[in-house]
Structures are given as structure tokens and as C-alpha cells.
Chain A
Amino acid sequence: MDMREDLYREFEAIVGPRNISRDKSVLETYRCMASQNSAHYGPYKVRTPFPMAVLLPGSSEEVQKIIRLCNREGIHFKASSTFWSAQGYVSADNAVQLDLRRMDGVEIDAENGIAIIEPYAIAGVIQAEAMKYGYTCNIQGVGGSSSTVASTAGWQGPGPSSLFTGTNYDNLLACEWVLPNGEILRTGSLGSGDGWFCGEGPGPSLRAILRGGVGTAGDMGVCTKMAVKLAPWPGPDHLASRGKAPAYKADLPDNFRCYTLCFPDWEHWAHGVQLLHENRITYTSHRQFNMFGCDIKGAMVKILSDENKQLCDLPELLEDPEVKAATQDMHCDMQIVLAGMSEADLAYKEAALDEILRISGGHRSQFMAEKEIEDWALLYFIRMGRKNLNYVLCGSYEGHFGLARTNYYLAASLVEEASALKKHWEETTPYLAKVGGNSSMGGLAGIGGGGGVSWEFFAHFDSFDDASVKGVAEYFGETNKWMGAKGLGGCMGKVNEGSRRPDGYDRSQEELNKMFQYAPQPGVFTYQWKVREAFNPNHLTGTYYKTLEPSAVRTDVEGAASIFI
């Protein structure tokens, strides 16, 4: 949709002519291709709508002026920082896209152990800057190229180190936020002029409004600066790496270990993981390499840690007896990193791990302990700079099932059944990569009161191949039914379908009403409706922030919860 000339000039006056564009070529590159990088939306062979213009604001004041103008003219807007998911793209025709790339500041307040960051500070940069002062940070599971502000404001934010570093929702301190109506809100200590150190006061908290439990996906305005908590880093001020591309290896002193822990079955696995959670000895804890698939993970580790290997080496490696045995050994596995704050600390952690493994019947994988593999994996987990490996097999993947935030015993009891469903599709259709069914992965994060794994299965498919895309979407229909039948809510592959229509546009309130009127706890959505009416009265963002008109709540149909996505 074209923008009125006078309006374009007004926007241009705010950001300057270099920082606004309505060129067709520019607009084309601000559309999400849902089969390629959907992050739980699709997969569809559609692109999200064109924005009318793209703006690159350079300050909170500019963001504020843009949003005020949007409110005056009824123009939709969406801000994005790093754009690695469908959430960050506009979902209406009369919308402008804010790209926050020019706001990339990072300041480390070493005395308080916090970082004050702007939206385009990617996690990999924040970590590098923090390490100079003896700190590290939580890197959200999407990895080092993503914006920590976006994850903290807009999405969930757990990553492999969250048990140690805190999750982004734990780490949010004071923050500067331009609300959807254009007002600037300074939360926590910043709100009372006391600096960045605290999120809850003195001054307003409003954390639940700003991000809530899962993030507001850009629908609650634009966070322009925030402080996040850092965690101690017992390594050098720069994490050096050695070796050749792409198989770089960590070059660290001797106080770091990376292990793959193997258990004889899921029950033992759950026990071991519970003990890991309770004893807090790990720097990172993540079931990672199973994302490639339980039959091929050993071979994939061999390929990825050796610069001379490629995917064409898979068939040979899959026949290698050593790789086969190791892969089998790792069927019920978990990768962890131990970081010793001192020699004694490492000795303690090693001893505690020995004890955990003794109690739970687990052991360390010898295969993964080989020096070159261990150093490769250490770099992988500490820097989180290889997240694009999620896409390496076929060009695209989508997370599904999502036994999310479930207690590990529950997840463990269901994993083989879910795997069997996936394996059936792998073996009877050509749509998904055939990797043994089980491709469950996920981190051990600090869910209050007992911990949990957020188990996601990967469906690897070819975004270029229409049949593969369509087939996977059908498969998610099945997984969604399975989840519903188990009383687990919706499949995470479908999670954003409630937020956008399959054509990439916003849902109408009527559609949302239909979707949530039978929700098990409709109050969540009616509360959000009230919040939206108060903070975003002109409804100018999107429908990721899920709302239900109070008058639409229905309680008349029994068991209707399964309609809810």
C-alpha cells in the first residue's frame, strides 16, 4: 500500500532521508518468508505483507515521534531488532516497519554486574563486551546473532546457560519503553531517577505489562534501552578459538569441561536431569545435538567438528561402527558444560557430577569427550554462534510438539510415543528428513519450583520444495491433534497461527474471540484485552498479544478446550 506523500515527508523529517525508504526493493526485504524462517508459524509458502515504509530510528525520541505520528494517522507499526522470526514483521497493509539496527549500544556497568543495552546489541556482542569485565550473559536459545532486547521484551528467552545466567525474563532490570500510544515509560529504578540497577523499583515495575510470561512480540510498543543482569565468567577476557572454519574450537584454560551424559532409559534420564537441576553445577545444560535426529547425531557431530567433512559424508559415517555405537549410547542424552570458578570449584562440580551419574545410572560419553569434539562443543555452547545449524540439513526446520515447560518426568514418559508418530511420517512420506523419529531437544531452564525442559522436536524440511513444505504443515496437523489428545495444549509448530492468519495478516478480534472463548483459562485473554485497551487503544500493533473480549467468553460447551490453539 502506498503512503501519502505528506505523511512520508513527516516520517522522513523524524529520521532523516538516509533512514527511511519506500523503495520497492527495500520493502521486499522486509517480508518474512514463512517457510524459511517462521519460528513457529507455518510453514507456509507465503510472505508477510509489504510495509508502506521502513524506518531506521536512531534514538528513543525518534521512536516516540514515529509512534505518535502512527497514532495520529491510524498507521500500524512493528519494531524489530534482528528479524529472525515471523513475529517481527508487519501484519497489515497500512503499516510501517521500524528496524532498530542503528540503536546498537552496549555499556557494561562492571560495578553492578549489569549491561545496559540497546535493541541491536546482539547477544554475541554483549557477551564479548561482558567478558572483558569478567562477566557473561544469558544467550537466548536462538543464539548469538539475535537481539537480547527483542528476546527480553518480545519473546521468552531461555537458552542453554539459563540455569546459571538466568533467563531473559529473570534478567530484565530497568528499562526505557515507548508505549504503543507514544508515551515513554521508564521502569524500575530508572523511573525514579536512580539508574538502571533494578527492575521492580523504586519506580514502576510493570514487567507483566511489558513482557508478561512469554513476551509481547512487539505488540506492546518499543523497548529502546534496558539493563540486564550479567553472570560471572571464569574464563579469559576474550574467548579465543582455534582451528579452521567452520569447525572452530574453543581455546580455553583447563577450568572448562563439556560432557554428553548418557542414560540407559528415559526414567534414568529424568532422574539425572532432575539432579542436575537441583544441584546447579552446570554452566550450560541442553539436550542439543539430538535436534539433528537420534539416528544421525553422532555422524553430524563428526561432520561439524571436522572442517574437511560435509553432509555427503553422512552415509559413510552412519555405517561406521564407532559412530553407530556412540549414537546408540547417546539415545537418552544431555550436554552440559562445567565451568570451574576455581580449581576447587571444578573438583567439587566433577565430584557432584560423578555422584549424580552414580545415583541416576548415567555415564559420560567417551565419543564426545574426544578433545577436538569437546573443544568444538564448548565453543558451540558458550558462544551460541552456530544456531543456523538448525537449518543445515534441509534448508529449513520447524519446532513442534513442544512438550514445553513440562516437568522432565512427563516429557520423558511421552517422548518415545511422540517419536513414533514422527518416525511414521518420516518413513511413509518424503516430506521430512528421515533421522530416526526422535529429534527432541531443549534446555534445562529455571522454571520456578522444580525446573523443566522445554522439549521441542525438529522437523527438517526443504523450504524450496513445495511438497515438503505442504507435507510438513499437514504433519503438524497430526502433531497438534496428538498434543490435544494428551491434554498438552497446542503443538508449538502452530503456536503463532493464533497470532497471524496463514496469509500473514492480523487476526480480527472476532477470530480471536472464536479462538479463545473456550480457553481453559479465558481470564488470561480477557485481562490482556483490558491491558491492550489501556495501553494500545488504537490497536496499532499486531495480534500476537492475544486478546478476548470479555463479553465473548463462553462456558457452555464441555471439553471445548481442545479448540484452543
Chain B
Amino acid sequence: MKERTLADFRPMQERCSNCSYCKFIPLDKIRSREFAGGCPSIGYYNFNTYSARGRFQLGVALNRGEDVGEKDLEQVVFSCLSCGACDVSCKICRYNLEPLAHNIALKEALIERGMVPGRVAEERDRLMAAGARAGLCAADLGLPVQGEVLFLPGDRTQESPETADTVCRAAALLRRCGLDIAALSEGFFSGAVLYDMGFRKDFEEIAKENIARIEASGAKEVVTPCADTFYALNRLYPELGLTVPVRHITQVLADLIAQGTLRLTQEVPVRVTYHDPCSLGRKGEAYEPWEGEEKKILNQVHTWEPRRPRYIGNDGVYDAPRAVLRAIPGLELAEMERIREYGYSCGEGAGIPEIDPGLAAFAAHGRLDEAKASEAEQLVTADPSSLLQLRSARRDGDLPVTDLLTLVLAAAGEE
């Protein structure tokens, strides 16, 4: 993976204009005071420091070798969900800034200097101890180990028996629809969370092992119900050599429904709203190789030579889950205010539920409040990790949080 040190970000750090857009969803999309916020980190802590802007400013000071504290700096830098909301909002106007990449680079820089808070280190150690082969294996899933389509169940699916059961039944449904589905003989952990926490080297270690296993499986395609696994395989692994394409399970289901292979015949009379997981949406865009450099034209205008991919979130997976939901008889879809590329994080990301539970809960509560305001009866998502995070944060009166797959199974008469 191309290494980008904090020093490489100096031009971006010093070209940030303090506009505050990174604190909000894109201003054109704001519908209310309550749900105008985009960045959970500044939403929770309120100091400018926690916004992408603040992080750029800290980066400037660090690059200049200035003393910006230790414990407080560590706390700020790692209390970021790497959710990318700031990235989309910033890029509405700016073609030469990448706040998300910088947020992660800041974490990497601190790790490089040995400035890692205890909780962060513990979470990293826990993940690394479980390693690339954590999670559900073919035997757990009731799937063979050879097949055209490799099914990767997800980074946290095994944490809840209910989620694990749903994923198994969804895999079985895909088999019945004619997909030649198989799984790995050992579990699979994508490591995406380590990347988002700034542990790039650990991530690469895990990714390389996984890429070898995927390539060796002989599968022509990977399918996963997990947003982080999708993000890892679609965006991060290709840079490290993965050639096998990946689809999220909602994309597969949408295709099967469109082809008429999967018929959803049972009524599921419920009004739902859909939460876009960040890793499936704005962060899940496909990797595009790029090698080049900045080139100034007209004296001082910045461009990239050659044209550089922008990753602004347009090509995330947003339509497939909605198409699946709309195909369920009797189901009604009500949208929240913050959706698609400007969706709000559920608080799951970059290890935050373990590192900074208060921040994780704040984000989840923001999402649950928004779901309630949409007047839906249930909040649906299509990612086991988001599901577990939102469920763990539920308070009395919050909407029930439902797995999109359970609705599909019910509509397919699989209950």
C-alpha cells in the first residue's frame, strides 16, 4: 500500500480554509437543526479540535515539530470514527483536500511515535490476537469449501447467535437461488477496522494473508453481508493485489429479485427506515489505481496529473438495499434526513465502541433519534456490525433495530 506520511499531507493541512463544512452534512442537504450535524466527534465533544478542521490544524503543528500535548492529543486523534462524513462535506467545494485520509494518517503518525492510548492498544491487541482467521467458518455456516462464490460472513457476525443464524439462513437462501456458494474452512476477519484505527502495518499483514486465501479459493466472486468486509475488499485490498471482485449481499439479492429468481411473496407490513453503513456507502467505493502528482496550472491553481479519483461517495452501495426493501410486499420505506453519501454514522467504526464508548453511544443515539423522527416503526440496516452497535445503544422508546436479511427471509417465506 502506498505509504503517505503526515508530512505528505502538509499542503492539505495548510490549505484547509476553516469553513466548518466538515462539521455538518453538505449544507445543501440540511433539513433541520436537529439533524444538521455530520461529524459525531465534534458533536459529542464540541471543541473545534475534534472536527476534521481541528485535526488538520493539529497536523500542521505536529509537522512543525511543535508541542501539542501528549495525552490530550492522543485522546483527540483516536476519538474519530473514520466515518468519512467530513470527507464528503469538504469535497463538495474542495478538490484538493482529503480529510478522512488525513485523520487516519494522524493516527498512524501517533502510532509511529508510540503515542497510543491504553484502550486503543488493548483493542488492537484483541483484534490481532484473534487474527485473520477469526469468525465463522464453512462448517459454522453449513457451506462447502469449494464454489464459484466465496461467502464471507463478516467481521462481527459471530458476536451474536441471532445475527450468525440470520447470516447462515441468508447464505442458504442464496444457494437455493442457484448460487454456487462456498466459505473458507477457517474464519475471516477483514482487518478494515485496524486500518481505520491507524494500524496500517497490522492491517496489511492481515490483508495479505486474506488475499492469499481468497485467491487460492478459486472463487470467481466474493459475497458478504458485512459492510467492513465489503469496504476492505472493494477499496483497500485491491491496492494490495486482490483481483477477485466483491458484491454486498444486498446487491446480489437485488439482482436475484430483478431477474425473478428470488420471489418475495409474503407480506411484511411494516414501515421501516434504512441506515446506510459508512463502510458500505461512502467508504465502500471501488479502488481506482492512481499514480501521479500535484501540478499547478495558471500560476497557482492546483490540479493532479493525471486526473485523480475523488472518492466523494457517489458510488457507494445505496440503491441495492433500498431496491430489496421496496420489493418486499407490504413494506413501506421512509427515509431519514441524513442518507446515502451524507448518512450519519451509527458509532461503530475505528474501534470506537471499545476506545470511546461515550462517543459511540452519542452517535448511535443521534441515529436512533433520527430514525424515530422519520416516523418509521423499525430501523433497518444491512450490516451485522452496525446492527449490533445500534441495538446495544437502544434506549426505552427507540425503534427496534432490524436486520434487512430477516425481512428478506420473512418475505421469501423462510421463517
Residues of A within 8 A of B (CB): 19, 21, 23-26, 28-33, 35-37, 54, 56, 82-84, 99, 101-102, 104-106, 121-122, 124-125, 128-129, 143-146, 238, 241, 244-246, 248, 296, 307, 310-312, 314-315, 379, 383-396, 426, 430-435, 460-465, 468
**Which residue of chain A has its CB nearest to the CB of B73?**
A25
Interface string of B365-397 (1 = CB under 8 A from A): 000000000000000000000000000000000
User: Which of B17, B68, B295, B301 contacts A24, CB < 8 Å?
Assistant: B68
User: Which of A121, A392, A430 contacts B33, CB < 8 Å?
Assistant: A121
Counting CB contacts under 8 A, is B310 at the interface?
yes
Residues of B within 8 A of A (CB): 10-11, 14-21, 23-24, 26-33, 36, 46-49, 53-54, 57-58, 60-61, 66-69, 72-73, 76, 88, 90-96, 295-308, 310, 312-314, 341-342
Residue numbers in A under 8 Å from B23 (CB-CB): 145
**Which residue of chain B has its CB nearest to the CB of A85?**
B18
Tell me whether B26 and A26 are in contact (CB under 8 A). no
A84 to B60, alpha carbons, bound, how many Å? 18
A522 to B306, alpha carbons, bound, how many Å? 57
A328–chain B nearest beta-carbon distance, Å? 18
Tell me whether A29 and B30 are in contact (CB under 8 A). no
A-B contact pairs, 19 of them (CB 8 A): A21-B72, A28-B57, A28-B58, A33-B60, A121-B33, A125-B32, A145-B21, A244-B314, A246-B91, A246-B92, A310-B303, A312-B304, A314-B301, A389-B93, A391-B15, A393-B298, A393-B301, A395-B11, A435-B298
Task: List the 7 closest pairs (A to B, CB-CB), nearest first.
Answer: A385-B27, A395-B15, A23-B72, A24-B69, A388-B93, A37-B18, A312-B303
Chain A interface, >50% SS class: loop
Tell me whether A56 and B46 are in contact (CB under 8 A). yes
Residue numbers in B under 8 Å from A245 (CB-CB): 26, 88, 91-92, 312-314, 341-342
Residue numbers in A under 8 Å from B304 (CB-CB): 310, 312
Residue numbers in B under 8 Å from A84 (CB-CB): 18-20
Residue numbers in B under 8 Å from A124 (CB-CB): 24, 27, 30, 36
Tell me whether A296 and B298 are in contact (CB under 8 A). yes
Tell me whether B18 and A36 are in contact (CB under 8 A). yes
B92–chain A nearest beta-carbon distance, Å? 4
A144 to B47, alpha carbons, bound, how many Å? 20
Residue numbers in B under 8 Å from A431 (CB-CB): 299-300
Residue numbers in B under 8 Å from A386 (CB-CB): 27-28, 92-93
A307 to B20, alpha carbons, bound, how many Å? 22
A378–chain B nearest beta-carbon distance, Å? 11
**Which residue of chain A has its CB nearest to the CB of B76?**
A25
User: Which of B28, B61, B314, B342 contacts A383, CB < 8 Å?
Assistant: B28
A421–chain B nearest beta-carbon distance, Å? 16
Known contacts: A25-B69, A248-B26. The answer to whether A315 contacts B297 by CB under 8 A is yes
Tell me whether A461 and B68 are in contact (CB under 8 A). no
A386 to B91, alpha carbons, bound, how many Å? 10
- Total inter-chain residue pairs, C-beta < 8 Å: 225
A464 to B9, alpha carbons, bound, how many Å? 11
Tell me whether B27 and A394 are in contact (CB under 8 A). no
Residue numbers in B under 8 Å from A396 (CB-CB): 15, 17
Tell me whether A36 and B29 are in contact (CB under 8 A). no
A461 to B92, alpha carbons, bound, how many Å? 20
Residue numbers in A under 8 Å from B33 (CB-CB): 104-106, 121, 125, 128-129
Residue numbers in B under 8 Å from A101 (CB-CB): 46
Residue numbers in B under 8 Å from A82 (CB-CB): 20
Tell me whether B299 and A432 are in contact (CB under 8 A). yes
A102 to B44, alpha carbons, bound, how many Å? 11
A105 to B69, alpha carbons, bound, how many Å? 33
Tell me whether A468 and B18 are in contact (CB under 8 A). no
Residue numbers in B under 8 Å from A433 (CB-CB): 298-301
Tell me whether A33 and B14 are in contact (CB under 8 A). yes
Tell me whether B17 and A37 are in contact (CB under 8 A). yes
**Which residue of chain A has its CB nearest to the CB of B51?**
A29
**Which residue of chain B has its CB nearest to the CB of A246?**
B92
Known contacts: A248-B26, A379-B28. The answer to whether A462 contacts B76 by CB under 8 A is no
A330–chain B nearest beta-carbon distance, Å? 18
Max chain A C-beta neighbours (<10 A), residue from B19, B21, B46, B73: B19
B373–chain A nearest beta-carbon distance, Å? 13
Q: Apart from A28-B57, A128-B32, A128-B33, what are 4 other A-B pairs with CB-CB below 8 Å? A: A29-B57, A121-B33, A124-B36, A464-B15
Tell me whether A128 and B54 are in contact (CB under 8 A). no
B210–chain A nearest beta-carbon distance, Å? 31
A385 to B342, alpha carbons, bound, how many Å? 14
Known contacts: A245-B91, A386-B92, A393-B300. The answer to whether A144 contacts B48 by CB under 8 A is no
A243–chain B nearest beta-carbon distance, Å? 10
Residue numbers in A under 8 Å from B298 (CB-CB): 296, 314, 393, 433-435
User: Which of B10, B11, B24, B296 contacts A145, CB < 8 Å?
Assistant: B24
A394 to B68, alpha carbons, bound, how many Å? 28
A30 to B10, alpha carbons, bound, how many Å? 19
B76–chain A nearest beta-carbon distance, Å? 5
User: Which of B19, B47, B300, B310 contacts A462, CB < 8 Å?
Assistant: B300
Residue numbers in A under 8 Å from B53 (CB-CB): 29
Tell me whether B47 and A430 are in contact (CB under 8 A). no
Residue numbers in B under 8 Å from A23 (CB-CB): 69, 72-73
A379 to B26, alpha carbons, bound, how many Å? 12
Max chain B C-beta neighbours (<10 A), residue from A238, A244, A388, A465: A388
A155 to B95, alpha carbons, bound, how many Å? 29
A125–chain B nearest beta-carbon distance, Å? 5
Residue numbers in A under 8 Å from B76 (CB-CB): 25-26
Residue numbers in B under 8 Å from A83 (CB-CB): 18, 20, 48
A200 to B7, alpha carbons, bound, how many Å? 55
Residue numbers in B under 8 Å from A465 (CB-CB): 300
Max chain A C-beta neighbours (<10 A), residue from B11, B48, B295, B299: B299
B106–chain A nearest beta-carbon distance, Å? 11
A182–chain B nearest beta-carbon distance, Å? 23
A253–chain B nearest beta-carbon distance, Å? 17
A384–chain B nearest beta-carbon distance, Å? 8
Tell me whether B28 and A145 are in contact (CB under 8 A). no
A307 to B91, alpha carbons, bound, how many Å? 11
Tell me whether A468 and B29 are in contact (CB under 8 A). no
Tell me whether B20 and A145 are in contact (CB under 8 A). yes
Residue numbers in B under 8 Å from A462 (CB-CB): 15, 296, 300, 302
A37 to B15, alpha carbons, bound, how many Å? 9
